[in-house]
Structure 1
């Protein structure tokens, strides 16, 4: 697409001659610059709605995990409770803990 625009501008510039092409090029550059700045300001100002969580996480059909000797097994989702996480765990695998291990197979927000 950009190549077609450049080729079209080159053809128009050649057809117009140097003086008119110079003026047209200045106008095209100015309009393009204003559009670029407007798009950048719009993108920077766009904020997600405050009521939506910041992070979405999903765990599904995970395998089995085993924790031993104080280790941790997780087949679901863990994260901070204050982080605005929208988490879903479906059909997660078995999480087994032995010897003071810790296991999670669902959603654990701490």
Structure 2
């Protein structure tokens, strides 16, 4: 969960909490409605403003739980991710890749290959 999600959750909790406080507070009806609406809108606007300022999560590539890869003589095998150098600015997350076997004389990688 990133910071933007946390800000939205906290904002929602504060708005819900203020709603309960205003429900149990005795006020003149019209004044009470105006107070409730203005307070809820102010808290929601503040939360959205903070949320909008925070950077969004960058889109990227996630690879997880790949199988094993075996390279034959002169061959290549990758258990993970193969990407282009042109995509170097794209975030890549690789976890729990399978075994990479190059015992037959090839080239094997368990993880990330950038070409």
Larger Rg: 1
When the two structures are superposed, what TM-score results if normalisation uses the length of structure 1? 0.45
When the two structures are superposed, what TM-score results if normalisation uses the length of structure 2? 0.43
